[in-house]
Amino acid sequence: MATAQLPKVKGVHHTAFRCRDAEETRHFYEDILGLKFAGGLSFESSPSGKGAFMHLFFEMSDNNYIAFFDLPDTVDEKSYYPKDGMEEYHIAMELGSMEELQTMKQHLVDNNVPVYGPIDHDFCHSVYFYDPNGLNLEFTIRDKSHDEYMEHEQREIPRILGDWRKRMDPVRAERLKGTEDLRAKYAAKVKATADRINGNMEKLRAAGLKDKDDTRHGKAAAE
C-alpha cells in the first residue's frame, strides 16, 4: 500500500504504562500534577489471559491521555526502578511559558518531588522528574526559536540522517553482531502474542460475549 493511501494518524490518544498501585498513581497525577482523572476501568480478565486489572486514564488539556495498568496479581517492585530517559523512555508534557514552567517546578518541590532543570535544549526548555512508578517525566516549553529550529531540521533531514548512518551504522552493526537469532525470537514472540489474543477474542465472540464490557466489573470472560 502506498503511503498516500494510508489513513491520516490524528494524534496520540494515550500512552500506557504499568503502575505499582492505582491510588498512588491517581494521587500523583490528579492531586499533584493537576491532570483530570478521566477514567478507571476495572476488568476481571483480559484478552491476553491476564487476571484482574484496572486501566486508568489521565487527561491533558489537548484531550490526549497518559494511562496506566494496575495488575495486583503480578506486581513486582523490581519493575518500578527510575527509568533512564534516553536509554529507556520518558514522557514530555508541554506548558505555555517559562513562568508556568517555573511555577510547576516550585509546585513539585513543594510536594517533595525531586526535580531538576530548567535545561536549555536550544529550541525548548525543560524540567525533569519521576512519578511514583519510576517513569521519567518532563515539562517543556517551546522557545521563540522552536518552529524555525524544527523547520530547519526538517529541511536538513536527508543530509543529517545520511551523515548519521554513515558514521554510526558500523558502530551499531558491531554492537548487534551475532544477535540475529535473538531478534528473530522477539519477532516470533510478537506474532505468537497477536495470534494468541486473536484466538482468545474469537473464543469470546463464539461464546456470545460480543459486548466490549462483558469482562468488566465482576463479569468474568468465558474461557
Enclosing H/E stretch for 69:
strand 65-70
Q: Which CATH architecture describes the domain 12-79?
A: Roll (3.10)
How far are the Cα atoms of 86, 139, 183 from residue 150, in angstroms, in the given order? 20, 19, 33
Q: Which residues of the chain have pLDDT under 70?
A: 1-4, 46-49, 209-223
**Cα(59)–Cα(120) distance, integer angstroms:** 27
pLDDT digits (tens, 9 = 90+) for 198-207: 888 888 788 8
Class of domain 81-146: alpha beta
Domain(s) labelled CATH 3.10.180.10 in the chain stretch across 12-79, 81-146
- Enumerate the H helices of 14-114 as residue ranges: 22-26, 98-110
Packing angle of the helix pair 146-155, 157-175 (nearest 10 deg): 70
Pairing of strands 115-120, 124-130: antiparallel
**Cα(117)–Cα(129) distance, integer angstroms:** 9
pLDDT digits (tens, 9 = 90+) for 150-159: 999 999 999 9
pLDDT value for 3: 61
Supply the pTM of this predicted model.
Answer: 0.83
